[in-house]
């Protein structure tokens, strides 16, 4: 890479929504606890495995900062297909953004019984209204352990892909927040429909979902 003058893009500072435990945190149910009796050691394995779409969803908020200001993206990602189920782009990381994102998801999937919704311990996900909305739709809530971003790595991985491919190194190309918003929307459309992945057998998320529905994993 050095001889070819190729340089990796370094990630910028991450937006953090954690404001402490407001008596709204819950258990991480995507963790398998194993006890090694010989070594007297407890091991925690993250379990993102799925056999079909709409079993495990993840969400988080990420920040985009340009000269014109800041935008915040809040998506829901399906851990099986890596498809972005719904999303909202806002100039403020407020609870209305989370509500809009959820409403869009429920328009697509009115029956969400049994889906696990995983997030970090951000203030949005500790709110009573958020918890009650999930409960009303039969969704099981799960949260990462404090300060452990790897517990929500499928969502974090998507943020990394998105920013490396359409944002980092291009920040000054966006003169307005509206230009940036349109670019984010266009990228998510490309990501869902056209961007192939080895993890998805060379298919895009939506094509992989169609294949999964036709030939479910046993």
CATH number of the domain within which 77 lies: 3.30.420.10
Q: Is residue 200 part of a domain?
A: yes
Predicted local distance difference test score (pLDDT) of residue 5: 75
Q: What is the pLDDT of residues 166-217, one digit of tens each?
A: 999 999 999 999 999 999 999 999 999 999 999 999 999 999 999 998 765 5
Euclidean distance between CA atoms 115 and 192, whole angstroms: 20
pTM, 2 dp: 0.90
Euclidean distance between CA atoms 18 and 146, whole angstroms: 9
The CA-based dihedral angle spanning residues 137, 78, 10, 71, taken in that order and rounded to the nearest 10 degrees: -40
Predicted local distance difference test score (pLDDT) of residue 90: 98
Euclidean distance between CA atoms 187 and 180, whole angstroms: 10
Q: Is residue 26 part of a domain?
A: no
- The residue segments making up the domain with residue 168 are 31-214
Predicted local distance difference test score (pLDDT) of residue 8: 66
Q: Is residue 24 part of a domain?
A: no
pLDDT at 10 over 90: no
**Torsion-angle region of 211 (φ positive above 0: left; ψ -120 to 50: alpha; else: beta):** alpha
Looking at the chain, the whole-number percentage of residues with pLDDT higher than 90 is 78
**What tokens appear for 22 in the block?**
């407001």
Q: What integer is the mean pLDDT of 103-131?
A: 96
Q: Is residue 19 part of a domain?
A: no
Q: Is residue 18 part of a domain?
A: no
What is the domain count for the chain? 1
DSSP 58-118: EE--EEEEETTEEEEEEEEEETTT--EEEEEEESS--HHHHHHHHHHHHHH-S--TT-EEE
Q: Is residue 140 part of a domain?
A: yes
Q: What is the pLDDT of residues 30-76, one digit of tens each?
A: 999 888 878 888 888 999 999 999 999 999 999 999 999 999 999 99
Q: Is residue 20 part of a domain?
A: no
Q: Is residue 25 part of a domain?
A: no
**What tokens appear for 5 in the block?**
């003058």
Answer yes or no: are the C-beta atoms of 57 and 117 closer than 8 Å: yes
Answer yes or no: are the C-beta atoms of 18 and 78 closer than 8 Å: no
């Amino acid at each position: 890479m050095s001889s070819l003058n190729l340089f990796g893009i370094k990630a910028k500072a991450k937006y953090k929504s954690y404001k402490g435990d407001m008596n709204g945190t819950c258990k991480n149910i995507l963790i398998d606890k194993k006890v090694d009796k010989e070594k007297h050691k407890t091991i925690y394995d993250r379990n993102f495995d799925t056999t079909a779409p709409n079993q495990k969803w993840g969400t988080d908020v990420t920040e985009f900062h340009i000269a014109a200001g800041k935008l915040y993206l809040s998506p829901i990602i399906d851990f099986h297909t890596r498809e972005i189920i719904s999303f909202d782009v806002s100039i403020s990381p407020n609870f209305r953004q989370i509500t809009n994102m959820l409403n869009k998801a429920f328009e697509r999937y009115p029956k969400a019984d049994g889906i696990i919704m995983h997030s970090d311990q951000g203030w949005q996900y500790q709110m009573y209204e958020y918890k009650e909305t999930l409960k009303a739709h039969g969704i099981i809530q799960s949260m990462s352990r404090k300060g452990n971003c790897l517990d929500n790595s499928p969502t974090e991985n998507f943020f990394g892909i998105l920013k490396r491919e359409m944002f980092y190194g291009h920040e000054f190309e966006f003169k307005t927040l509206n230009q940036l918003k349109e670019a984010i929307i266009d990228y998510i459309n490309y990501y869902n429909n056209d961007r192939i992945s080895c993890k998805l057998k060379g298919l895009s998320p939506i094509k992989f979902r169609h294949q999964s529905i036709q030939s479910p994993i046993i």
